[in-house]
Chain A
Amino acid sequence: MEYYIAEGDSIRRAGMKYLVKKIVTLIMTLFLVSVLAFLAFQIIPGDVVTSILGTEATPEREEALRKELGLDKPPVVRYFRWAGNVLKGDFGESYRYSKNMNQMMPVAELIGDKLPVTLLLAAISMVLIAVIAIPLGVLWARTKNRFLDVVMNMGSQTAMAIPSFFLGVLVTYLFGILLKWFSPGGYVSYRENFWGCVRYLIFPAISVAIPKIAMTARFLRNSMLTESGSDYVRTAYSKGASERRVAYGHVLRNAMMPVVTFLGMIVAEIVAGSIVVEQVFSLPGIGKLLISSISTRDFPVVEILILYITFVVIVVYFLVDVLYRVIDPRISNK
């Protein structure tokens, strides 16, 4: 007699193996990214030393500064020193910002309270996307009204076409200048008033979120329509299940699986979008610092910022991957 049931034990073992493999890949990607981030700034045309001291400096002074910055060592040594310091929490010092007369500003301090602003903005955007896009997508998939379908389709196409910074300008104009729901530039620090800060951040978050909401709703709708054509949906109807029950009890759960991955994939874009939108709303996040550091070629700051943002993105990818595995029973046995 045909007989095959996977042993619970072997599933668990496969799960552990998968997790270990994933963590190893995660660490390898992090390593590779840090190497890329570091190496990128080693091939810079034009010398940092010249750019700090100007072209008038004496060779001796240049030599001294080079030694001070550790630039006389080979790149591999410098990478491991740098990476080691980063792991210890020492992010180096800025080339540009000085703390006082004889000390440069540590990057950690410079980033300090700017990072939470950006992450908070990204998080609010993510919440907006999840809360709005999913019901919208379900509604869209279930509507039989052709007119509503066309409206949703055109609306989502348009929303996806608006760049987030222009959306920021529109939101500023509409809610800030016409409706006066918030005063542009009137940011409140999250340390002083957390909810006030969140209230202000909602508007930039809307600018980040709208195109992604359109994308996600569209994705979910297509996913649900694809699933609706599946054989198991027909089976469910054959049991006498109502359309509503089939949609929520069978289709949605299966349709959500790829959406979870999709949401994870747009995390990177949300973070990037946050950086741009910060400029529009003049938020004191890392976006502004990043742009100004790039313009002034303040590489230690740029390096750390890039590393930081990428780490966040990679870790989110990792978590989504693991989450997907937890919620989708099919994968555990593949």
Chain B
Amino acid sequence: MDSTNGTNLPFVVRDCALVAVSTGKQAQNLRELRDHMLNIHEGSIYYHFWGGLLQARFDDPQFNNDFANWSHYRLHDNILAERLAVIDPTDFDDLEAMRRELVEVLDQRLDEVDRPAWVPIDRQFHFIRSQIVVFDTGWRIEKPESLPDLVSKMSVGSIFYHVVDARVRYPKGADDFRAWLGGFGDRFKPVCARLAAVDPNFMTLVELRRKLATVLRMGFGEAQK
């Protein structure tokens, strides 16, 4: 029985691991980036926006996605980097809609520059996609009120799956906690509203877990009033 599809069912805590997979596609300049973006595996767009949270990455990124990072650090095109960085995945129904926006931003930049910058071959952008392995932890949450305490005990993989990966599974960036709480009618509306305002960008999963616990605690406090 799934946690997210019915009323009063227990919340099924899942965990996940990502494995990175090479797509074999690389870009050495802006035009190549745009051309590959047109039809790259959509798992690659997912990976370059979210994969960094579960994969090796320095915890001080300036930008929230790899396309913006590469534009800044490798192409040295700050205008493009800023435009790419402002793309918020929660604004789109699915990865295809996000792809169209990315292509739009790249096309606009191509219109503006006479000669797209090149990078040396060892600085090219590698399109990577990921496979996600999801497993049931066997852990069930029966009472919504226990969520704040239990969330802080979840692994970072669980946080990734229920909050970040969920944004790809649901249209308009919902998450599994909100989907579950929504099954209890309007009772937990304040909690859901607070959860909806959490932006998982620019923080590690450990920080996100802490933030969720705080937000849930405040939301349930409000719901009890």
Tell me whether A and B are bound partners.
Answer: no
Residues of A within 8 A of B (CB): none
Residues of B within 8 A of A (CB): none
